[in-house]
Structure 1
Amino acid sequence: MNEQLQVREGIGEEEEAKLLDLLKSYNVATFGESDRRELAVPLYDDGGQLIGGLTGYTGRGWLYIAMLFVPEHLRERGLAARMLELAEAEARSRGCIGAYIDTMNPAARKLYIKCGYSPIGTLEGLAGGHAITWLQKPLSPSP
């Protein structure tokens, strides 16, 4: 076996897919099935074009919000909070006990806290003086 390691800019899509398959197989064997299911709350304009939205997934009893974007001209209308509410309601219906998200945006961090999320960790010292914060929110069971 050739164990020579080297740094590259990246690997091809097929190699990345294989690496992901190997990792998933290991995780399932070690931790059990994750019950991962994708979740999205897309935001379309009047012409049907995607202009924002929320994406994430549920798995292992938690909702992870991977992306949330509202175009600047639609901000301050409560759309982000409504997207979070919809995603959280779906997560509850899937049996999730909590949700988590991360952000570098101070305004988004403030919004998430207003929506009931609590910071659970921060990584400071990113280029440009930025920091990333992870937040979580317990989800009460569906009525």
Structure 2
Amino acid sequence: MTRISTVEDRFFDKLSESSTGCWRWIARRDRDGYGQFRVNRRTVVAHRWAYEFLVGEIPEGLVLDHLCRERSCVNPFHLDPVTVAENVRRAQRPDLLTHCANRHPWTPESLYLPPRGGRVCRLCNRRRRGRQAAPS
């Protein structure tokens, strides 16, 4: 008897995990290096499909930023929903992936993840509100 593979089976068969935790897409890619995947006779972007399948809907008006900077990666934990402007800013300043714009390191204590995506530095936010001076 022939086994019918599910969309999920087909998707996960097209991955290769790297030592960095990236789930590299080893099937068809577009000219920019992003994975492509057929679902219900439609071509979808693989990292977007992975995020929506494993995490949830991408908030309207946001795009997925590859925190690992690897376009072929589809690991949803390496993807951050942000505005296009933030995505461009991060691409121009890769240090923003590990530190806020004021050079505070992203730590569990300093990082707030708003429901609509992106990242907020709690230290900078406190300084803006006048609660306490943020350490440099």
Q: TM-score of the superposition, structure 1-length normalised?
A: 0.26
Q: Give the helix-richer structure, 1 or 2.
A: 1
Q: Give the strand-richer structure, 1 or 2.
A: 1
Q: TM-score of the superposition, structure 2-length normalised?
A: 0.27
